[in-house]
Amino acid sequence: MKKLLITGFEPFGGQNINPSWQSVLALENQIGDCQLTKLEIPTAFKRGADCVLKKAKEINPDVIICVGQAGGRNAVTLEVVAINLMDANIPDNLGYKPINTPILEDGENAYFSNLPIREMVEAINREGVPSKLSYSAGAFVCNEVLYTLLHEYNGTCVKVGFIHVPFLPEQTDGTMPSLEKEQIVRALASAIKVL
């Protein structure tokens, strides 16, 4: 049995729910070969990543998957890469809004996810939920969490990745794409089964 630490974020940017945590919370505790530990993390630079790292030190996971909201996307997207940049359009939940700032002074420019992301995209699509790779996790908190984790576990056998999910229908007025929570939950479960 593998240990999977899976996280979702608190609501941010004026929303009162975050589909990432709603969906993570709704997952079964055991999926395929994985025992899940679920964690809600703050949408705040440094704090969010610190929470994941603290829990990871406690449970020693084999895999860490962070899930976040990407409003406006129309598919469940598996992030390919995290970049060493914070460039926020809005303040995080603690009011911090870094512009053109490295996450780690002298850190690598970027890290690639080491999850089997292509197989995961295929599995999600087979499940009937739209999914694709994404070549940018943005430059807000999600990218910073992924970068920090990939830096921390670089050279170890811990697998780390990030899945961005669309809005839920209740977050949009119909002009933005969305997926039902049930679809996002099925997408996450089928991706986890690939591990």
Residues of this chain that bind ligand PCA (CB under 6 A): 9, 12, 18, 20, 43, 68-70, 138, 140-142
Cα-Cα-Cα-Cα torsion 8, 9, 11, 17, nearest 10 degrees, comes to 0
Instruction: Verify whether residue 142 is a known catalytic residue.
Output: yes
Nearer to ligand PCA, 141 or 168 (CB): 141
* Catalytic member of 34, 66, 142, 144: 142
Closest approach of ligand PCA to the CB of residue 124, in Å: 18
Continuous segment of H or E residues that includes residue 67:
strand 63-69
**Nearest residue to ligand PCA, by Cβ distance, number only:** 142
Nearer to ligand PCA, 35 or 172 (CB): 172
Closest approach of ligand PCA to the CB of residue 60, in Å: 25
How far is the C-alpha of 185 from the C-alpha of 195, rounded, in Å?
16
- Count Cβ atoms below 10 Å from residue 62 Cβ, excluding itself: 17
Instruction: Verify whether residue 51 is a known catalytic residue.
Output: no
* Catalytic member of 34, 66, 144, 164: 164
Q: What letter represents residue 117's amino acid?
A: I
Q: Which of 57, 33, 65 is nearest to 145 (CA)?
A: 65
Half-sphere exposure of 61 (CA within 13 A, CB side): 25
Closest approach of ligand PCA to the CB of residue 69, in Å: 4
Q: Is 17 in contact with 11 (CB distance < 8 Å)?
A: yes
Closest approach of ligand PCA to the CB of residue 15, in Å: 9
Nearer to ligand PCA, 12 or 153 (CB): 12
Instruction: Verify whether residue 151 is a known catalytic residue.
Output: no
> Which residues are catalytic, by number?
79, 142, 164
